[in-house]
Structure 1
């Protein structure tokens, strides 16, 4: 049984504790799903999560718009990740893909949220490009204004849900000013003429990923999310909400690795005594537990701060994402070591965690970039 004592921390309300208990029971009954066909598995997970109401927190309710509750998002991601990394992915991408619409979309655009919140449509966030990953302000994709709206030309890559999404939130250069001030965001349905999947991308922990090509894709002016030139602000606002949740997913992976290591150490004998009696093993377990608790404090501090009404939590979210993902990597590496040969055996949960965690230190702001973000915030007194 994973440690649940953190739910008594003052960051949480009774509704969060109730959510954690109900979701835990749901995960035990429904996860993991078969991963033989990743696209089909993700579609199944989105449908299941939507059917049973777990996707509602990923986007605002068009009927009763309330701010996104980041603590709910984090608890959900942590719990899902502990049970099935692909379930966490399916949940997270529904939120990231619709974040711009929740925060800046008009009433017509928010109609999509009725479908994503119920699992009837899959969303995607198309920001990264072949030449500009972490350097968002340097993107090349162009949105040329016409009498009817805009024409989008260029490529996006490493797009999660690429190839299975029903629509994409796409960022492109509209040219109101140089650099970051000349970007805008658009809602583009997947069946729009000229939009194609140029390549499906395979990674060590399989997820639906693709490189997308936009060949003179025409969209109406009403496809723009927010105002022209506000694209960078839109993207950063979305990441400000969802970046801490990446740390929460890493925390879920780390908790599972710690739980598996405790079972391993308690149930295996070495040199005539339980493995858990060895001081070296105890040292590893202590380090893992310390990293898990420290990461949890940073993750839920960032989420609580945002939920309390802070306009930006750039520093807190960057710290949470950086520390939780880096330390989860260390926790899982120790788990592999404690499991010996089983830790690198294909199909073992620890081996799966080892592959799952690595990407979290790259996407939504690589660890090195988070250090730059944190330093700038500290130096600026933020």
Structure 2
């Protein structure tokens, strides 16, 4: 298995870097502080075709792989990790359709998701059912050619701005996945959208709780079709979550990259005791450790992205490893970056303050680091 980037991936990486430098870098603080909206930023990405990176060209997308998604999340998240989180939610819906959708569902939704005419959001988690997804209480009742959903979903990324929700609900005792359409600008019948949550970090994203009260959905919108089996639903769910974890690992990498870049620049340019602080061995060793950790996290994350297609039997394990390790590296890097900056690291004027807040959330969203260890130990058979 070649874990290094192909020429095509390197070309895409250069394209992403230029796009972010030209379009997003200057608005990073505005996104964090609410002066520029997540919706407007995602519209910018949609016009550039980046909401359809993993949509096949036959459906109007760019035909990219999970590695392409991960590279984009890595580059964008150094400036706006909240957008990386928003993309992870959107790409999860795309992945569900790609892996488990009927041809009718793919033909109907994928072209619109690719163009950004629809923004996707996964609505899986509940207050008492996060990583323990089997504990959900949201129910769907099927009657003839229609169904109705009742229940409450928590921490739905893109909740108030999405036009297509992927909702996890119980049909009796079995899990089921449903595609829920929301008309742009309309108050959806049977869905109450809670206020946007105030968050520690990743403030460029919008997160809401959703309550479903007898929300009607067509039977045709059951992911996989009316005859889909329970084990197929769980397989589709886990694959989609692993994609989301890998994209989030990419976002964590982006935060670590930016933290290291800013730390090195600060060390070269800031003087104490008559010399730049880069001359002090304590700073040198700190940066060396950060560089080593960053490269290790990158290799593990890229391997997870490669494994979806090349080693699918290992994907679940590698996604958990990548997400946990990259998130830890991001947290440590951002904390050390604040330390290198000294008291200026606590200033809202400095990017490292935002990186510090954003990095912590990579250990929480898309499954806590503790739960990733549970997955890893299960893969070991212990």
TM-score under structure 1 normalisation? Answer: 0.90
Displacement after TM superposition at 1:55 (Å): 2.4
What SS class does the counterpart of residue 144 from structure 2 fall into? coil
Q: Classify 1:41/1:141 alpha carbon distance in 2 versus 1 (closer, same or farther; 3 Å).
A: same
Separation in 1, partners of 2:181, 2:105: 11
Shift of 1:36: 7.2
Unaligned 5+ segments in structure 2 are none
| Counterpart contact for 1:269–1:275, Cα < 8 Å | yes
Structure 1 equivalent of residue 23 of structure 2: 30
2:214 matches 1:216: yes
Matched, 1:46 2:38: no
CA contact (8 A) 2:118 2:163 kept: yes
Q: Are the equivalent residues in 2 in contact too, given 1:243–1:321 (CA < 8 A)? A: yes
Q: Is the 8 A contact 2:55 2:64 kept in 1?
A: yes
Aligned 8 A contact 2:54 2:66 in 1? no
Match of 2:4 among 2, 11, 15: 11
Query: Which residue in the other structure is 1:3 paired with?
Result: none
* Equivalence for 1:20: 13
- Summarize the Cα distance change of 1:67–1:136 in structure 2 as closer, same or farther, 3 Å threshold: farther
1:101 matched residue in structure 2:
97
Picking from 367, 374, 377, the partner of 1:375 is 377
Deviation at 1:35, TM superposition (A): 2.0
Distance, in Å, in 2 between the alignment partners of 1:117 and 1:38 is 26
What is the match of residue 266 of structure 1? 268
Residue in structure 2 matched with residue 5 of structure 1 by the alignment: none
Q: Aligned pair in 2 of structure 1 residues 125, 61: CA closer, same or farther (>3 Å)?
A: farther
Q: Is the 8 A contact 1:38 1:208 kept in 2?
A: no
Q: CA deviation at 1:283?
A: 1.6
TM-aligned CA deviation for residue 265 of structure 1: 0.4
Shifted more, 23-32 versus 40-49: the winner is 40-49
RCO (CA 8 Å, sep 6+): is it higher in 1 or 2? Answer: 2
- Counterpart of 1:201 in 2: which secondary structure? coil
Q: Cα deviation per residue 1:201-245 (whole Å; 9 max; x = unaligned)?
A: 111122211010000111111010012534322210111223222
The residue aligned with 2:151 is 154
Against the structure 1 CA distance between its residues 39 and 274, is the aligned structure 2 distance closer, same or farther, given a 3 Å change threshold?
closer
Q: CA deviation at 1:286?
A: 1.2
Deviation at 1:327, TM superposition (A): 1.5
> Is contact 2:55–2:61 with CA below 8 Å preserved after alignment?
no
Q: Give how far 1:30 is off.
A: 0.4
Cα shift at 1:339: 0.6
Tell me the distance in 2 between the aligned counterparts of 1:124 and 1:312: 26
* Distance across 2 between alignment mates of 1:46 and 1:64: 18
- Deviations 1:269-311 (Å, cap 9, x if unpaired)? 1112210011111121111111101101100111122232525
Gaps of 5+ in 1: 1-8
Taking the TM superposition and a 5 Å limit, the aligned residue runs for 1:168-187 are 168-175=165-172, 177=173, 182-187=174-179
| Cα distance in 2 between the residues matched to 1:172 and 1:55 | 26
Separation of aligned partners in 1, 2:280 and 2:213: 62
**1:135-146 alignment, distance < 5 Å:** 135-146=132-143
| Residues 1-382 of structure 1 aligned to structure 2 (within 5 Å) | 10-32=3-25, 33=27, 34-35=30-31, 38=34, 41-63=37-59, 69-110=65-106, 111-175=108-172, 177=173, 182-191=174-183, 192-205=188-201, 206=203, 207-226=205-224, 227=228, 229=230, 230-308=232-310, 310-311=312-313, 313-379=315-381
Q: For the Cα contact (< 8 Å) 2:160–2:207, is it kept in 1?
A: yes
Distance of 2:269 and 2:200 partners within structure 1: 30
Asked if 1 retains the 8 angstrom alpha-carbon contact of 2:59 and 2:110, the reply is: no
Q: Partner of 2:50: helix, strand, or coil? A: coil
The answer on whether the counterparts of 1:137 and 1:232 sit within 8 Å (CA) in structure 2 is no
Q: Distance in 2 between matches of 1:48 and 1:339?
A: 32
Give, in whole Å, the separation in 2 of the partners of 1:267 and 1:100: 48
